[in-house]
Amino acid sequence: MKKTFALLLAVVMVLSVLAGCGPQGNTETTSGTQGTQAPTPSGTEGTEGTTEPTLGTLTGEAGHYTYYDYTATLSASWNPHTYQTTDQAYPLDYTSSGLYSFIFNDANHPIEGKDPFTGYVIVPEMAAEMAVDVTEQVRAEHPEFGIPEGETEGYAYSVKLREDLTFDDGTPITAQTFVEGMKRLLDPRFQNYRAADVYDSSNTAPIVGSEDYFKQGHQYYEDNGSLKIPMDALAPGEDGQYVVTDAVTGANAMYQGCKVYIAVDVPITWTGGEDTLADYVEAYGDAYFGMDNWDTLLGLADEDGVVPCTEENLALLSSVTTTNPNWGETDADLFNYLLIDYTYPDGVDYDATVGYYAASDYELVSVFTKYVVGFDVYYGGLQDTLVLVDPAKYDACLVESTGADGNTIYSSTYNTNVDTAVSYGPYKVDGYQTDKSIHFTKNENWYGWKDGNHTYVDPEDGQTYDMYQTTDIDCQVVTEAATRLNMFLAGQLSAYGLTSDDFEQYRNSEYTYASPGSTIFFFILNGYLDTLQEREAAADFDQTTTDLETMTLKNFRKAFAVSFDKNLFIATTSPSYTPGFGILGDTYIYDPDTSAFYRDTDAAKQVLCDFYSVDPADYASLDEAVDSITGYDPVAAKELYAQAFQDALDAGYITDNDGDGVSDQTVTLTYSISTSTDIQTKRINYLNEKLKEITEGTPFDGKIVIVESAPCGDEWSNNIRNGVHDVVLGGWNGSLLNPFSLMTAYVNPDNAYDANWFKPDNYPVTINIDGEDVTMSLSKWVAAINGGVEDDNGVIRSYGNDDLDTRVYILAQIEGAILQTYDYIPMINDGSYAMLSQKHYYVTDEYNPVLARGGITYMKYNYDDAEWVDYIASQGGVLQY
Amino acid sequence: MLKYTLQRVLYMIMVFFIITLMCFVLIRMLPQPILPPNDPHTEVLEMRREALGYNEPYLVQFARFLEGVFTKFDWGYSEKLYFGRGVWSVFLEKLPATIIVNLYSILWTIPVGIALGVLAALKKNTWVDYFISTITMVVISVPSFVYAFLIQYIFCFKLRWFPFLMKSGTDWFSWDMFVSMIPAVLSLSFGVIAGFTRTTRAELTEVLTSEFMLLARTKGLTKAQATVRHALRNCFVVVVPGIFGEFIGILGGSLIIEGIFAIPGVGGLTLNAINGLDYNIFMLSTVFYTAIGLAAGLVVDISYGFIDPRIRVGSKK
């Protein structure tokens, strides 16, 4: 019995193991796991019985040029309609092409006044020629697309496609293929994440009708704080509930007849975007609100947190928000608490609605909701082809499941394994294993191999070379930096991103390249006096020894801003970065046509001189003056701390009861941390050390301390916005080619970190335009530089399409105004360092913000794969860098 | 025994159901990542959450989950980590790598660990015992990822005997795959060997000094006969459950070791599912390992009776 049991148990164990390891019949597994794909030329994809190893024991074929890449997280799905992160989009970099592409300027594509490979030009890629403006024609032939009357350019473009476009399996691509891709992207049943890219009104070139098509049949509560429909355009309907009247015109006319609700427990723009009125009332109660009718109003809210807007309910709302002067609102502000109940019309016909259609087999027309011209046409408008999918394969990959209320939910296995992978770019996926590796090889059906256009003239030897010398790309998941470094030194990776541990040894290697980033990290300094006073009023706060309010004083903030040597700060805490001095970093391009950098302009330089009190007259040139800036001025800092001390005494924030000229209280700033790390601790220690040094002999001698907050994860930004924490290193990036639009992040209350204490709508800025001093609020200047706005005198100020010199000048003044708030104290310009393997070299060492150093398109090789193996062996298996 | 077994199975099902419900609710109670309020992508994500029913009451969602599993064996689709793919197929795809590596590991670690333990016990208080015991303590005290980095550095980088990473592909039983797994297998093995060595030595040492061992010798058995027939059998009462545990552990991967050697296994699946709030992946892995764990506990308990006839279920008076 016992022997039988033991035998049975052993058999069950072995069978379980073998069963778990057998081939799987599920159609969603990769070809690699099923062993059905033919071995690839490089043998990277392991198939059953394949004996060719990939990495580790490098083997190489002559004439093959493999780029060995690594990633910490391998994309499990690179569906162009659903990807959410850059990691997920990684394979698309190789398997797709754009309608137009950026290439370096060279002898064949010269830019006047620029050396080869110092700028870029835009050339047709999948397009046969540059786009043609067909606004007038489309307006006449397709009134349904609503191009404004009188507009003759900038709203519709026609792109003539190449006639030899195919997917990697040879299936032809025509203009209708693009349209089919767009139909699927916007199909409301699929709820594709990337659909928003097409209709988002804040984008450069939203497609006409795309939002109506995508959202058809959906009901939304639109935030009237954003729509800004005034109260006099609302009136009670037959049932007593307010509706939007015919008085509303323009873009908001679509809301006519829609019912209105009060947002009682719904996050709205007016309450910061993430909080609700209920959050505020529950937090502050009768200190700020009229509480007599609050419970009644809250009790009326349905499960969505809304209350029908009637005369009676509006009166309840008014009694809550307008009766307490501390909240400071009147009935004129009530419209901000309202929501418009809007349901997008159902049964929308794509052809009659969406401005993206095929005019012929090879002519694709895009109609935009905005005026789009020049560089934006190609960069934000037509460059992106990620709507393109293989319709047949896409449909075959759809998976249905049942969701809430029995509705059908669609998922897709498109681009999740070799079988469902589709390419129309220079490479195709021929090996993939989930969470392990992906392998690309040349897509033989890509038009670019034979069209003669994909060449460049080398700036060194003047010879013409083909682009895309790389034949294979092998990407492995390598999670540990130590493993990456060892693999790199053993010749098994093509590049290696340096970590802080490697800097000392490899920073000065001839194979190390610095790549500046676009983000400026600044100290965001708490200026929210109300919250600071509330924190001081807490029972456990000792006001005799500690103070918070002083940090809101301008002189204190100015002193804080010049208390740290940014170079030393970087060297101590973030060696891969460079110092940051302005709101905008070194890589921002203000003129995409000439790739001119904002930071190189005189206006931008002057702003830094003004902010850091450097007089250019003291230097031989403006450049020298800027180069002298360190951001550190101990003399000025001490004077400012002394002035801040007096200001704080006058304001009653601190005391000096013993009359020793030193504050009785320690100004304590809480540094917000998401997770506790060594680098955060090192930063805080460094700041405290320098504050102690610089306040020596001042009234704040040893009386300014930065303490670490409890780890708060993603809440750090809310804690800063709400004044719960006092300082953090944060930043904005994006809009690399449009620094003008990035300024909106500093005036939009949804984004701005200082929205609770800095009101850009009320912050006047005077800028001299063509000899005239123009004064508007900061918000209006930002609006004016990105389009147009009416100033306080009713004059339209529109600089969005003005000459670039004027725009740059205004941009610089806006940057200066933001710096002068001392809410943002620039510290770090991000960047990275990476080593490139001896197998490769870049065609140019200069870093270009758009093209970097050319990427895979221009990657050059010293050795083919076979030669590389021999070379490594000749070096004893470990390469010296 | 049968009654006891059935009773345990019933308890097991109850516990399994409670754990499943708790996990189902707890993962959904985790806060969603804060999304930009006016970003249109946020709107799309919220639309999808609504359509998926994630805003419905938890019990309604749980009922739908159970219905899917029990009526169609449908574990749902991944919404985050493996978007669009059925979670069951993802799990099955990743399980073999974990199983193979762990299997190779225990196939040699258990005999070696027991052998070293026996040797140390038989050579108690000699230099052999001291040496084995010292090494055992050192190995147990050091985390396995330290060996992993050392093994990778010495054998893969310096000596170049093995590749840095496990080979891509699914040719699990090929020579190249076996060679590529050796660093990971070694990294997983040291701790297990040390564990078995220590347990076996401790148990065997105690048994060897028992009176019945003296009786066995006085009956005329040789030392080897007495050790193999009586001492080893007695010490296995403690060792065998450990062996069962190791076999059960085959199915659970090591997050760190799999990461270091790029083993595409299930090691990080649960943790990644929690971090990514991929509900379906989390539920599948949780349910799977809960079931395995409960079953293992049952098997181990029952196995005591077979190993040592003196162990019986106690009766209530």
pLDDT for residue A313: 94
Tell whether B48 is covered by a domain.
yes
pLDDT for residue B315: 54
Q: How far apart are CA A415 and CA A426, in angstroms?
A: 16
Tell whether B297 is covered by a domain.
no
Contacts of A331 (CB under 8 A, 6+ apart): A231, A318, A322
Tell whether B183 is covered by a domain.
yes
Q: How far apart are CA A701 and CA B186, in angstroms?
A: 58
Cβ contacts of B103 on chain A, cutoff 8 Å: 17
Inspect the interface and report whether the beta carbons of B164 and A416 lie closer than 8 Å: no
Nearest to A434 among B55, B74, B264 (CB): B264
Chain B interface, best mutation among A47, A417, A480, A750, by max B CB count within 10 A: A480
- B68 and B189 co-located in one domain: no
B232 and B279 Cβ atoms separated by less than 8 Å: no
Distance, in angstroms, between B131 CA and closest chain A CA? Answer: 32
Q: How far apart are CA A717 and CA A731, in angstroms?
A: 11
Q: Which amino acid is at A59?
A: T
- B70 and B102 co-located in one domain: no
Contacts of A773 (CB under 8 A, 6+ apart): A766, A767
Chain A interface, best mutation among B107, B170, B254, B304, by max A CB count within 10 A: B170
Cβ contacts of B41 on chain A, cutoff 8 Å: 84, 193, 196
**Domain-terminating residue out of B74, B101, B134:** B74
Nearest Cα residue to B259 out of B276, B272, B275, B278: B272
Averaged over B82-90, what is the pLDDT? 89
- B50 and B97 co-located in one domain: no
Inspect the interface and report whether the beta carbons of B92 and A476 lie closer than 8 Å: no
What are the strands, taking DSSP E only, across A656-763?
666-671, 704-708, 727-732
ipTM of the complex: 0.88
Tell whether B14 is covered by a domain.
no
Averaged over B109-134, what is the pLDDT? 93
- B52 and B140 co-located in one domain: no
Nearest to A29 among B93, B166, B169 (CB): B93
A737 and A592 Cβ atoms separated by less than 8 Å: yes
Residue B314 confidence class, pLDDT cut points 50, 70, 90 = low
pLDDT(B240) > 90: no
Q: Which amino acid is at A812?
A: A
Inspect the interface and report whether the beta carbons of A403 and B247 lie closer than 8 Å: no
| b (16+ CB within 10 A) / e for B241-262 | bbbbebbbbbbbbbbbbbbbbb
Inspect the interface and report whether the beta carbons of B171 and A46 lie closer than 8 Å: yes
pLDDT for residue A381: 76
Chain A interface, best mutation among B87, B104, B147, B165, by max A CB count within 10 A: B165
Inspect the interface and report whether the beta carbons of A49 and B262 lie closer than 8 Å: no
Distance, in angstroms, between B215 CA and closest chain A CA? Answer: 26
Q: How far apart are CA A606 and CA A625, in angstroms?
A: 9
B26 and B286 Cβ atoms separated by less than 8 Å: no
Nearest Cα residue to B117 out of B141, B103, B135, B144: B135
Inspect the interface and report whether the beta carbons of A877 and B174 lie closer than 8 Å: no
- B201 and B58 co-located in one domain: no
Nearest to B93 among A411, A434, A715 (CB): A434
Distance, in angstroms, between A758 CA and closest chain B CA? Answer: 20
Averaged over B283-304, what is the pLDDT? 85
- B259 and B200 co-located in one domain: yes
A701, burial (CB in 10 Å: exposed 0-12, middle 13-18, buried 19+): middle
In the DSSP assignment, the letter for residue A672 is P
Q: How far apart are CA A491 and CA A872, in angstroms?
A: 7
Which residues in chain A land under pLDDT 50?
5, 12-57
The sign of the CA dihedral A35, A36, A37, A43 is positive
pLDDT for residue A36: 29
Chain A interface, best mutation among B52, B56, B58, B85, by max A CB count within 10 A: B85
Q: Which residue of B has its CA nearest to A435?
A: B264
Inspect the interface and report whether the beta carbons of B85 and A76 lie closer than 8 Å: yes
Nearest to B93 among A13, A33, A218 (CB): A33
Q: Which residue of B has its CA nearest to A413?
A: B84
Nearest Cα residue to A687 out of A657, A727, A742: A727
Tell whether B241 is covered by a domain.
yes
What are residue B129's phi and psi, to 5 degrees?
-65, -45
Tell whether B301 is covered by a domain.
no
Domain encompassing residue B52: 37-74
- B130 and B64 co-located in one domain: no
Cβ contacts of B65 on chain A, cutoff 8 Å: none
Q: Which residue of B has its CA nearest to A192?
A: B44
A108 and A147 Cβ atoms separated by less than 8 Å: no
The number of folded domains in chain B is 2
Q: How far apart are CA A521 and CA A824, in angstroms?
A: 9
Q: How far apart are CA A662 and CA A656, in angstroms?
A: 6
Convert A827-841 into a string of H (helix), E (strand) and C (coil): EEEEEEEEEECCCEE
A791, burial (CB in 10 Å: exposed 0-12, middle 13-18, buried 19+): middle
For A502, the 3-state DSSP assignment is: coil
CA A616 to chain centre: 35
Cβ contacts of B180 on chain A, cutoff 8 Å: 53, 56
- Alpha-carbon separation of residue A190 from A60, A145, A401, A414 (angstroms): 44, 24, 12, 13
Domain holding B188: CATH number? 1.10.3720.10
Q: In chain A, what are the domains?
A: 64-124+394-423+425-484+848-872 (3.40.190), 127-204+351-388 (3.90.76.10), 219-343 (no CATH)
What are residue A430's phi and psi, to 5 degrees?
-125, 5
Q: How far apart are CA A825 and CA A728, in angstroms?
A: 10
Cβ contacts of B55 on chain A, cutoff 8 Å: 404
Token pair 């150093």 is at which residue?
A853
Inspect the interface and report whether the beta carbons of A29 and B95 lie closer than 8 Å: no
Give A756-760's long-range contacts (Cβ < 8 A, gap of 24+): A756/A272, A756/A528, A756/A531, A756/A721, A756/A722, A756/A723, A757/A527, A757/A528, A757/A529, A757/A530, A757/A552, A757/A723, A757/A823, A758/A527, A758/A821, A758/A823
- B49 and B197 co-located in one domain: no
Q: How far apart are CA B277 and CA A518, in angstroms?
A: 30
- B131 and B43 co-located in one domain: no
Helix or strand (DSSP H, E) at B204: helix B175-208
Cβ contacts of A84 on chain B, cutoff 8 Å: 41
Q: Which residue of B has its CA nearest to A474?
A: B168
Nearest to A50 among B56, B78, B171 (CB): B171
Inspect the interface and report whether the beta carbons of A437 and B180 lie closer than 8 Å: no
Q: What is the pLDDT of residues B181-200, one digit of tens each?
A: 999 999 999 989 999 999 99
- B257 and B128 co-located in one domain: yes
Q: How far apart are CA B109 and CA B193, in angstroms?
A: 5
A391, burial (CB in 10 Å: exposed 0-12, middle 13-18, buried 19+): middle
Nearest to A480 among B36, B86, B259 (CB): B259
Helices (H), A612-724: 622-627, 634-651, 678-694, 716-721
The pairing of beta strand A666-671 with beta strand A704-708: parallel
Tell whether B6 is covered by a domain.
no
Inspect the interface and report whether the beta carbons of B96 and A45 lie closer than 8 Å: no
- B51 and B187 co-located in one domain: no
Nearest Cα residue to A532 out of A522, A521, A546: A546
Inspect the interface and report whether the beta carbons of A56 and B51 lie closer than 8 Å: no
Distance, in angstroms, between B88 CA and closest chain A CA? Answer: 9
Cβ contacts of B258 on chain A, cutoff 8 Å: none
Q: How far apart are CA A483 and CA A492, in angstroms?
A: 11
Tell whether B144 is covered by a domain.
yes
Residues pairing with A71 in the sheet: A477
Cβ contacts of A273 on chain B, cutoff 8 Å: 37-38
A186 and A82 Cβ atoms separated by less than 8 Å: no
- B104 and B217 co-located in one domain: yes
Nearest to A436 among B56, B95, B262 (CB): B262
Distance, in angstroms, between A440 CA and closest chain B CA? Answer: 14
Inspect the interface and report whether the beta carbons of A433 and B170 lie closer than 8 Å: yes
Nearest Cα residue to B20 out of B80, B71, B61: B61
pLDDT for residue A379: 81
Distance, in angstroms, between B15 CA and closest chain A CA? Answer: 24
